[in-house]
A and B are shown apart, each in its own frame.
Chain A
């Protein structure tokens, strides 16, 4: 896969399609699953582009072979003075899960983070009920740093939020 920048109309259409799948939404985010129109999402994206701050970096993910758009990966909350940021990733179409696309996108993003942005570490949060993502982050070199006990309520029970991080020196040893 490769990381790309897309027209807001294209991203919005893909976002809305992915968003119809409530399981995807619950693996991705802790906000309540709900449905948005393409028009609304496009407006947000355009607004976001206008005031894009240097603390956010978002890319779309396309498969190299077919050039198909399958998801996004992004960095937020970059703190330049401390040299760290938070990352997130989502593959909206279930048929693309478990094929190594996410792991590959993480590799490219980490290279970008440590050799272009020159950050010192990256953090991420993952839900206890998402073992697929957890394995993928471990493969990419992230280490478990703790768990926020019973942080979320879903399906009538409470789940931990797991926090992970990778330092530049750890990434250098992998690369």
Chain B
């Protein structure tokens, strides 16, 4: 048995106080490039108060289909992003992975790859899922590389799904099966 499921080599997954998380989210939302890498919705700015209400609601409801964590560096205990398994379909053993590192000073240092390793181990050995899916935008090669490194396989692309900077871009979808993950682990 692994002694701490929530701990990787560089980061650990945490549950944060709603106020701490809300403060971080509304700070990261100021960076429109981050927002556009993260989501297809129009980049927007939210108040800390509003975000805190959402986070509190999510935490109070104890939704059985959502597992959401903060990401903290092990070296400095700094909150650098969030990661979640959402839309868990228990009957099919499947879930959707989302991750965002809002603090761009830590991009390209392997934190995301490490956080994904930790959450895949959680998905396959604690939740006992069979498969994890994700979406990523064509204009985010850094994320695509990171998912490939974690073992995700390209499964297709929604052609010209996004309209940004006056150009249309594909949305790529990827997935990893438990038997594939077992071979990488």
Given the contacts A79-B40, A158-B130, A153 and B161 also touching, CB distance less than 8 Å: no
B163 & A146 in contact (Cβ 8 Å cutoff): no
B64 interface residue (CB < 8 Å to A): no
A94 interface residue (CB < 8 Å to B): no
A130 interface residue (CB < 8 Å to B): no
Nearest B residue to A152 via CB reads: B92
Nearest B residue to A168 via CB reads: B160
**Which secondary structure characterizes the binding site on chain A?**
strand
- Interface size range of chain B in the complex: 20 to 34
Q: Closest CB-CB distance, A26 to chain B, in whole Å?
A: 11
List A contacts of B157 (CB < 8 A): 145-146
Given the contacts A79-B40, A120-B163, A158-B130, A151 and B92 also touching, CB distance less than 8 Å: yes
Contact of B155 among A121, A123, A147, A165 (CB under 8 A): A147
Given the contacts A146-B155, A146-B173, A148-B175, A82 and B162 also touching, CB distance less than 8 Å: yes
**Which secondary structure characterizes the binding site on chain B?**
strand
A47 interface residue (CB < 8 Å to B): no
Interface residues of A in 123-175 (CB under 8 A from B): 123, 143-153, 158, 163, 165, 167
| Cα distance, A136 to B93, chains bound together (Å) | 29
| Cα distance, A79 to B131, chains bound together (Å) | 27
List B contacts of A158 (CB < 8 A): 130
List B contacts of A120 (CB < 8 A): 160, 163, 168
Residues of A in contact with B (beta carbons under 8 Å apart) = 30-32, 79, 81-84, 120-121, 123, 143-153, 158, 163, 165, 167
Residues of B in contact with A (beta carbons under 8 Å apart) = 40-42, 89, 91-94, 130-131, 133, 153, 155-163, 168, 173, 175, 177
